Amino acid sequence: MPNLARTRSSGPVERIQNPGMLAEVAAGLSSPQKELSPKFFYDQRGSELFEAITRLPEYYPTRTERALLAGWMPELMRQLGTRTLIELGAGNAEKSRIILDAMRATGLAEMYVPIDVSGTFLSQTAAQLRREYPGLTVEPAVADISIELNLPRHLPRPALFAFLGSTIGNFYPPAAIRLLARVRAAMEPGDRFLLGVDLRKDIARIEAAYNDSQGLTAEFNRNMLLVLNHELGADFDPDAFAHRAFYDTVTHRIEMHLVSTRAQVVEIPGLEPIPLAAGESIRTEISTKYDRDSVAACFAAAGLRIEAWPRDPLTPFGLVLGVRA
Ligand code: SAH
Ligand code: AVI
């Protein structure tokens, strides 16, 4: 979450300093299928809940991607001689350490630029990495990557732009392509793009990953309402919403919704009251699953091409290396 500056006015009401967030929420909640951006999941608690999700037995993407990185990065970093790692949606940078270790082993690691919308969490990650990697310049950038990358002016090259965890799947196709094009525009010859994508597979396995038996994903989903309450002074009652996640076979994506369990009216200061019927839902996330053709099509539309995709047919997750087309 962007750190929203708030000031105490003379009265009891806090003045919201982020009209952008209010406008985005207003637009999403006034469309026929009510919708909120998944970037609103990630305050401190949301980031911690996501971390806990990655350790769930049902949530295969993180551990699969970690194994793929461990198998490939030492050789790839030797081949590329990467000096800078730029990571979109870095989160806790747990898997990034595999890349950083491989860079350090070549003696060329100079800079790490973790980019994330969750400012406080990002600062903690950066501070921890500075302790772990003395000599590495860590330059965190707080940015909404759907709008900008906010990169430092000088980046030692060659650079590796990484977008891991299948976060690309959380963007609708046009936004995903705009995002890849933004990365492409920041790349110089010799730079590479490393994309982690969740793959199409057995539906039951995908649905189980978003409907875990401990209910952590449900808590993560409802946390977005607490974020809106905190940041915008909304009065959502999280207990009045049920978690729903299902796979859509036409669009090849998980959809996560919060379903209103009763007729209710939500108040957000500055907006008209928002009525919700019993059973009406707010879509909070899509998580698109890819295959080779759909990745190649997105890359082509963004001016990139697949350079390498060491695919084990049994792996439920893909690591794709891209280069400027
Ligand atoms: N890369 C990590 C974290 C994935 S969770 C991993 O693979 O485990 C998704 C991360 O992307 C979160 O840290 C979240 O704060 C960040 N994020 C989501 N939407 C974003 C946006 N629009 N701009 C920047 N960061 C975003
Ligand atoms: C961050 N992102 C790739 C996760 C995903 O799988 O789409 C977020 C998530 N939502 C529910 N569980 C995890």
Does ligand 1 come within 6 angstroms of the Cβ of 224?
A: no
Q: If pLDDT is split at 50, 70 and 90, which confidence band does 123 have? A: very high
Predicted confidence (pLDDT) per residue in 56-102, tens digit: 999 999 999 999 999 999 999 999 999 999 999 999 999 999 999 99
- Residue 292 CA to ligand 1 centre (angstroms): 23
pLDDT band at 10 (very low <50, low <70, confident <90, very high): very low
Name the residue at shortest CA distance from atom 20 of ligand 1.
39
For residue 6, pLDDT over 60 is answered with no
Ligand 1, closest atom to CA 54? 8
User: Among 161, 167, 178, which is best to mutate for testing ligand 1, by the most ligand atoms less than 8 A from CB?
Assistant: 167
Structure token pair of residue 291: 């295959």
Confidence band for 19, pLDDT divided at 50, 70 and 90: confident
Give me the mean pLDDT over the 293-300 stretch: 98
Tens of pLDDT, residue by residue over 131-188, are 999 999 999 999 999 999 999 999 999 999 999 999 999 999 999 999 999 999 999 9
Q: Give the model's pLDDT for residue 196.
A: 98
- pLDDT per residue as tens digits for the range 35-50: 999 999 999 999 999 9
